């Protein structure tokens, strides 16, 4: 074999097509068989093996944006499904109507390349790369390799993210029929811990709890649960707290002390560092309410501040509170009336969304967190007797659950789910037969939970499609006791790719924490 022959052989070995590699191998083997340059042939085969074992080059649809996937066998892959699912959610949001919509092909290519990098398994990484051309455009018949890759992507999205190829990429193939799959539901062992409420924060589930039940301030502890292993760590607290919220690397709770002379309750903030579990009571009074009004307050973290809403002198008052000192920085009035339970707060970047809760009507208000401009409206009721029962936000959109009473005394009515753009306009709304009393959202999408038609029917877990707002029951929680107690405030939370539901009547015997993997 002369130099030119060797050069041509090595050029063949570096080619991107498997057939070229096979032809190169045959050429070298033929030369070896006839006794010409056996050592050169051995070297060439070794080079070929190294090239094949170390690098796979995937052709992108846009040849200017090639994705090279290095796959040496000893390189670890990331294992964070939450980051992967969050990126899939971003791609989905960009392909749907709304403020996050962005059909730019170049941005899609960039987002998709990042999705490949976040894939927690090599199989998924390679499947995404192979499926990529067929997720940008839809040929009539993808080749067999692409079909297999598309099926892998579809099933993985369904198993770990609660989504499908059709959801994320708005491209459907008849051979992609994601199998009907009930989510995994397990009961988490809590020992003698009895949580009163749960909240997700910084990759963990946090529980305000007591040992054996009860509300004695000396018994309250904060419990941190690892969503994957189920292991629990507890931290002491100087006092009990409620209305938990998370943000900025901390948890925040309301804590209160009553003044017996006029039944005033002074609400202060209890701050907990999520890295260490260390609790710090903040001294300033963040809000003062009278008597039972303590049951009609709400605390939220948004845009670097705490927001505390309650009844003051018969009217609603919203205080912006420093998360560092607990001091009140601004006060707002002229809010939607607070109903018979807690008022509702959710947030999108730069805005706070407010509703009075059950019995508080159907008016939704928006507060610009920078300027302080408060905008009342729109009203989401259709009969004049509507109530906003829950609020949540996802990808800069707000979702509201509304009950419109049609019968005398509110005996009958219809349930609606609304999706709103960040300017307060209604993007879409739909009537739903399956409606949950509580809601959560996150990397897993939007989910509602119970109660059912009666206590005996259990607690339906309902997936809400953010695009169409269709609601579908995917499973039912059937505790052997008090199945109506799952609903309520801070009893349903999302952490990464898991959902958690708390069922308790404050006794150890009748407390269950469910971990749900959609």
Q: Domain containing 467 — which CATH number?
A: 2.130.10.10
Among candidate residues 123, 144, 169, the one where a domain is terminated:
169
For residue 324, what pLDDT band results from cuts at 50, 70 and 90?
very high
Whether residue 361 is found in the same domain as residue 459: yes
Among candidate residues 23, 39, 58, the one where a domain is terminated:
58
Report yes or no: 215 and 255 within 8 Å, Cβ to Cβ.
no
Chain segment 33-51, per-residue pLDDT in tens: 444 444 433 334 333 433 3
Residue 179 domain flag: no
How confident is the model at residue 7, as a pLDDT?
Answer: 43
How confident is the model at residue 483, as a pLDDT?
Answer: 59
Whether residue 145 is found in the same domain as residue 204: no
> Which of 167-171, 223-227, 244-248 shows the lowest mean pLDDT across its residues?
167-171
Q: Who wins on pLDDT, 322 or 496?
A: 322
Give the rounded distance of the alpha carbon of 290 from its chain centre.
36
Q: Which residues contact 374 (CB under 8 A, 6 or more apart)?
A: 332, 334, 335, 365, 366, 367, 368
List of E strands, 380-508: 386-394, 397-405, 413-420, 426-432, 438-442, 445-449, 459-464, 471-477, 492-495, 498-504
For 215, left (φ over 0), alpha (ψ -120 to 50), or beta? alpha
**CA end-to-end span of the chain, whole Å?**
60
Q: Which residues contact 46 (CB under 8 A, 6 or more apart)?
A: none
Cα–Cα distances in angstroms (integers) from residue 89 to residues 86, 105, 424, in the given order:
5, 17, 22
Q: Which of 302, 213, 222, 212 is nearest to 255 (CA)?
A: 222
Whether residue 367 is found in the same domain as residue 310: yes
Among candidate residues 115, 145, 169, the one where a domain is terminated:
169
Q: How far apart are CA 18 and CA 209, in angstroms?
A: 60
Whether residue 53 is found in the same domain as residue 80: no
How confident is the model at residue 242, as a pLDDT?
Answer: 95
Whether residue 134 is found in the same domain as residue 221: no
Whether residue 153 is found in the same domain as residue 194: no
Whether residue 159 is found in the same domain as residue 206: no
Share of the chain above pLDDT 90, in %: 39
For the cut 80, the answer to whether the pLDDT of residue 181 exceeds it is: no
Chain segment 445-459, per-residue pLDDT in tens: 899 987 755 566 678
Q: Per-residue pLDDT averaged across 281-286, rounded?
A: 96
Residue 105 domain flag: yes
Residue 312 domain flag: yes
Residue 362 domain flag: yes
How confident is the model at residue 355, as a pLDDT?
Answer: 95
How confident is the model at residue 140, as a pLDDT?
Answer: 63
Whether residue 286 is found in the same domain as residue 153: no
Residue 134 domain flag: yes
Report yes or no: 398 and 92 within 8 Å, Cβ to Cβ.
no
For the cut 80, the answer to whether the pLDDT of residue 268 exceeds it is: yes
- Counted residue by residue, the chain has a size of 518
Which two structure tokens, joined as six digits, stand for 82? Answer: 């939450």
Whether residue 188 is found in the same domain as residue 157: no
Q: Who wins on pLDDT, 110 or 251?
A: 251
Q: Which residues contact 260 (CB under 8 A, 6 or more apart)?
A: none
Cα–Cα distances in angstroms (integers) from residue 43 to residues 15, 38, 152, 170, in the given order:
17, 9, 37, 48
Q: How far apart are CA 494 and CA 514, in angstroms?
A: 12
Alpha-carbon torsion angle 101, 105, 111, 115, nearest 10? 120
For the cut 80, the answer to whether the pLDDT of residue 68 exceeds it is: no
Residue 178 domain flag: no
Whether residue 49 is found in the same domain as residue 71: no
Q: H/E/C letters for each residue in 78-90? A: CCCHHHHHHHHHH
How confident is the model at residue 399, as a pLDDT?
Answer: 95
Residue 444 domain flag: yes
How confident is the model at residue 308, as a pLDDT?
Answer: 98
How confident is the model at residue 156, as a pLDDT?
Answer: 83
How confident is the model at residue 454, as a pLDDT?
Answer: 57
* Parent domain of 115: 67-169
**Averaged pLDDT of the chain:** 79
**What's the domain count of the chain?**
3
Whether residue 137 is found in the same domain as residue 266: no
Whether residue 28 is found in the same domain as residue 148: no
Residue 428 domain flag: yes
């Amino acid at each position: 074999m002369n130099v030119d022959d060797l050069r041509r052989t090595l050029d063949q070995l570096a080619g991107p097509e498997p057939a070229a590699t096979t032809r190169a191998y045959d050429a070298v083997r033929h030369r070896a068989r006839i006794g010409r340059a056996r050592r050169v042939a051995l070297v060439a085969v070794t080079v070929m093996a190294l090239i094949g074992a170390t690098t796979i080059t995937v052709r992108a649809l846009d040849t200017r944006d090639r994705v090279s996937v290095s796959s040496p066998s000893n390189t670890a892959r990331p294992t964070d499904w939450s980051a992967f699912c969050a990126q899939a959610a971003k791609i989905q949001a960009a392909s749907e109507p709304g403020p996050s919509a962005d059909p730019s092909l170049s941005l899609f290519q960039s987002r998709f390349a990042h999705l490949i990098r976040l894939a927690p398994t090599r199989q998924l990484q390679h499947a995404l790369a192979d499926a990529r051309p067929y997720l940008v455009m839809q040929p009539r018949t993808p080749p067999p390799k692409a079909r297999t890759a598309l099926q892998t992507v579809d099933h993985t999205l369904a198993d770990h993210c609660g989504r499908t190829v059709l959801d994320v990429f708005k491209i459907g193939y008849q051979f992609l029929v994601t199998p009907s799959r009930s989510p995994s539901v397990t009961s988490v062992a809590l020992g003698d811990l009895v949580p009163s409420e749960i909240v997700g924060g910084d990759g963990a589930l946090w529980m305000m709890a007591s040992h054996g039940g009860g509300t004695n301030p000396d018994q309250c502890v904060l419990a941190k649960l690892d969503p994957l292993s189920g292991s629990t760590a507890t931290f002491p607290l100087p006092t009990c707290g409620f209305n938990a919220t998370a943000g900025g690397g901390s948890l925040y709770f309301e804590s209160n002390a009553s003044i017996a002379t006029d039944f005033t309750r002074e609400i202060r903030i209890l701050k907990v560092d999520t890295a260490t579990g260390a609790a710090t009571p903040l001294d300033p009074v963040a809000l003062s309410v009278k008597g039972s009004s303590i049951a009609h307050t709400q605390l939220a973290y948004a845009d670097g501040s705490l927001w505390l809403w309650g009844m003051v002198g018969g009217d609603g008052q919203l205080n912006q509170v420093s998360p560092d000192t607990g001091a009140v920085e601004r006060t707002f009035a002229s809010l939607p009336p607070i109903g018979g339970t807690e008022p509702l707060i959710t947030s999108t970047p730069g805005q706070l969304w407010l509703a009075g809760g059950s019995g508080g009507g159907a008016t939704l208000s928006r507060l610009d967190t920078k300027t302080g401009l408060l905008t009342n409206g729109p009203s989401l009721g259709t009969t004049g007797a509507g109530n906003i029962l829950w609020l949540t936000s996802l990808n800069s959109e707000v979702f509201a659950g509304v009950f419109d009473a049609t019968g005398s005394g509110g005996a009958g009515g219809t349930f609606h789910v609304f999706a709103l753009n960040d300017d307060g306009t209604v993007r879409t709304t739909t009537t739903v037969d399956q409606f949950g009393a509580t809601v959560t959202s996150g990397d897993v999408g939007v989910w509602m939970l119970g109660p059912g038609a009666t206590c005996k029917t259990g607690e339906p877990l309902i997936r809400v499609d953010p695009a169409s707002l269709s609601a579908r029951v995917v499973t039912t929680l059937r505790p052997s006791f008090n199945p109506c107690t799952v609903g309520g405030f801070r009893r349903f939370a999302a952490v990464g790719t898991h959902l958690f539901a708390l069922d308790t009547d404050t006794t150890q015997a009748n407390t269950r924490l469910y971990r749900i993997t959609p």
